[in-house]
Amino acid sequence: MCGIGRGIEIFRNLRDIRNFISEKQARSLWVAQKYVERPLLYYGRKFDIRVWVLVTDRVDVFFYKSGYIRTSSDEYTLDAKETYVHLTNNCLQQWGDNYGKHEEGNTLSFDSLQGYLNEKFGAGTVSVEEQLVPRMKDLIIDTILAVKSDILSQSRHRGCCFELLGYDFLIDEDLRTWLIEVNTNPYLGIPNVYISKLLPKMLSDLLDLVLNPVYPSATSSEASQNDFQLILCEKGSIYSPTALNVRRGYSKDLLYPVKQLRPEPTKNRYPKAPTQPNPVHASTVAEDPASLPPQKLLKRRSHNKSLLKQQKAHFGTASQSDGKNSRCQLFTGEMLHEEGMEAKIRQKCDLESAAKELLKATKEGNCVAFLQRVIAAARLCLSDPVKSPQELIDVFQANHF
């Protein structure tokens, strides 16, 4: 039997969650997960990744190198209420009207995913094998170590037992890997030709690992390579002469496998505004995002998001004591750094809001540093550079704001 999304609910606010729980049996257990609103899409549709993991009674952990991706039948949008848009497991998708419309059995290989990543980001930019899979192994090891004592306790009086697990992962728009769930009874159906070849090979490799140490095979299986990779074991394991743990170190960089998307470290809590007109700003505004190379677009988007996050963190704290002035600062920080705001800021409505906040802040005696940041914002949206706070005020007043 396979999961069909039974018991999975999607809510938009805490009130709905509380109402749902209040109607359920007392002391029942539920797992709450943050919904990933911006997943990486496969031609506009949501997908997740299924990999198989073998765990023995001695906590020997194996990762099967060939996984597969499961796609949704319908185009992704947060407004959609249909379960087929949000949940991609095969047992649910097979009942949808568009099942198999895009891919046979809504299932694809890692090679197909790699081809799409090459098409979207450029060849050599993103690698499933070198960047996504290592992060999956990290998360798998973390989950097994979290329950290691329970595994050893339950298998102490059994011996010679094993478990095949199905791990489901999601990739977001920044190419970060998120663990969705771990299935103790993974789907072993055959939705297409690819799985019909992959599944028998996986089961054969599994039986070789768990049976041969207990019941040695009369015929040698060395001719066929076993695709289960040992990623965790203790000293004294029958599968390795030494202890093994391929879990990489704990670093923020591991969250962003693609270097161009990593937040850039900075000593300052927010970037300093330039004191003189910078021609780079004008060229940045003139650039059309659609015409940028994928690598440059990724880096620019990541940089803007990082700056916006830093601005919000700083000004959000200041707002508790600075009142109205800090709200003006927050407005300017978002206006200056949020992705895509260069175009929106040129609209009259945005300039009018900025002017009103600026004039109010000026009358209240706001700090010079804030006015300098507003000048930096003005350089992005005005064709003529502004060199002083008074000139900026004159520009706004001249436009009858």
Q: Which domains does the chain have, with CATH numbers?
A: 14-23+33-255 (3.30.470.20), 263-398 (no CATH)
275 versus 132: which is more confidently predicted?
Answer: 132
Tokens standing for residue 191: 């939705």
Placement of tokens 């597969």 in the chain: 68
Q: What share of the chain is helix, strand, coil (3-state, %, to 5)?
A: 45, 15, 40
197 pLDDT above the threshold of 80: yes
pLDDT confidence band for 327 (50 / 70 / 90): very low
C-alpha–C-alpha distance, residues 345 and 336, integer Å: 9
Contacts of residue 313, Cβ cutoff 8 Å, sequence gap at least 6: 269
Task: Check residue 132 and report its DSSP letter.
Answer: I
306 versus 259: which is more confidently predicted?
Answer: 259
C-alpha–C-alpha distance, residues 274 and 278, integer Å: 7
Q: What is the mean pLDDT of residues 21-49?
A: 89
Contact between 325 and 366 (Cβ < 8 Å)? yes
C-alpha–C-alpha distance, residues 328 and 179, integer Å: 39
114 versus 18: which is more confidently predicted?
Answer: 114
pLDDT, one tens digit per residue, over 212-244 is 888 887 765 555 789 999 999 999 999 999 999
Task: Check residue 71 and report its DSSP letter.
Answer: E
The mean of the pLDDT values for the chain is: 76
C-alpha–C-alpha distance, residues 359 and 400, integer Å: 13
Give the pLDDT confidence score for residue 339 in this predicted structure: 38
69 versus 386: which is more confidently predicted?
Answer: 69
Give the pLDDT confidence score for residue 203 in this predicted structure: 96
Beta partners for residue 52, in sequence order: 166
Give the pLDDT confidence score for residue 283 in this predicted structure: 39
Give the pLDDT confidence score for residue 251 in this predicted structure: 84
198 pLDDT above the threshold of 90: yes
Q: Lowest-pLDDT range, 63-77, 79-93, 242-256?
A: 79-93
C-alpha–C-alpha distance, residues 232 and 243, integer Å: 8
- The rounded percent of the chain whose pLDDT value lies above 90 is 38
pLDDT confidence band for 29 (50 / 70 / 90): confident
Tokens standing for residue 146: 């979290």
297 versus 315: which is more confidently predicted?
Answer: 297
Q: Quick one: which of 330, 328, 333 has its CA closest to 357?
A: 328
67 pLDDT above the threshold of 90: yes
Q: What is the mean pLDDT of residues 328-348?
A: 43
14 versus 308: which is more confidently predicted?
Answer: 14
**Highest mean pLDDT (candidates 23-37, 74-88, 157-171):** 157-171
pLDDT, one tens digit per residue, over 110-134 is 999 999 999 999 998 999 999 999 9
